[in-house]
Amino acid sequence: MDKGKLNELSKVLLDSCIEVHKLMGPGLLESVYEVCLLKELEIRNIRAEGQVPVALHYKGFELLKDFRIDILVEDEIIIEVKACDQLLPVHETQLISYLKLTNKKLGFLVNFKQKLLKEGFRRFVNNF
């Protein structure tokens, strides 16, 4: 997917997150926001999967361990869902690591516990 399409999809993703936050409010569990966002994306005809397993490789070996991406959109964009008092550097590092390990170009860290979602919405790029 080219940069223009990724940027257009990014706008729809932000709008979708705002819609979920507006309807559900800031006080629920991450898992609730995740399923609501998946439904919102489905309503908007955007292909997204939740809890996507990604195999872990080390020095050419596939290890018997995987990690899970909260939401993978159009097989291109990673969304990491949080519901915490504030985003910490470890949350950012987690998303950056996921982008590198999956060779994805774009990711969003979304903290639904904020009073205003824009305060908890961060965009990250990897070789974009």
Q: Is the pLDDT of residue 2 over 90?
A: no
Q: Which two tokens stand for residue 70?
A: 């909260």
> Per residue in 44-96, pLDDT tens?
999 999 999 999 999 999 999 889 999 999 999 999 999 999 999 999 999 99
Report the pLDDT value the prediction gives residue 66, as an integer from 0 to 100: 86
Cα distances (angstroms) measured from residue 24 to each of 14, 34, 91, 121, 123:
15, 11, 22, 16, 22
C-alpha 79/C-alpha 33 separation (Å) is: 11
Q: What is the DSSP string of 74-91?
A: TTTEEEEEE-SSS--HHH
Percent above pLDDT 90 for the chain: 88
pLDDT at 1: 81
